Amino acid sequence: MAGDGHSGNGQSPAGGGLIGAIRTGWMVFVALAVLTFVEYIVAVRINANFPVIAVIAFAKAGFIVYYFMHVTRAWRGEEGH
């Protein structure tokens, strides 16, 4: 479908069709939830300094850029367009 970030052949960016896209979406959701929990624990319980929190935040940003912004498509050819 046009505009949904997936190619028109029903494949997710990583392949595997709809099931693969759903699985990848859930994996990204779980990874972001776990990283958010770890970030909270590090900030509150361990009282860590800024660099540790920044590394976790950059990891979360990487997941968001990869999955939701489809940054990997920028380096691929015009596959179906």
Q: Which of 60, 57, 2 is nearest to 31 (CA)?
A: 60
Instruction: Give the pLDDT confidence score for residue 11 in this predicted structure.
Output: 45
Instruction: Give the pLDDT confidence score for residue 43 in this predicted structure.
Output: 85
Report d(CA 12, CA 7) in Å as an integer.
Answer: 7
pTM: 0.63
At 29, list the tokens: 């959701």
pLDDT along the chain (81 residues), means of 10: 45 66 88 92 82 90 84 68 51
Instruction: Give the pLDDT confidence score for residue 78 in this predicted structure.
Output: 63
Domain containing 48 equals 17-75
At 64, list the tokens: 């968001």
Question: Does some domain include residue 5?
Answer: no
Report d(CA 54, CA 46) in Å as an integer.
Answer: 15
**Total domains, the chain:** 1
Instruction: Name the H helices within the chain.
Output: 17-44, 50-67
Question: Does some domain include residue 62?
Answer: yes
Question: Does some domain include residue 36?
Answer: yes
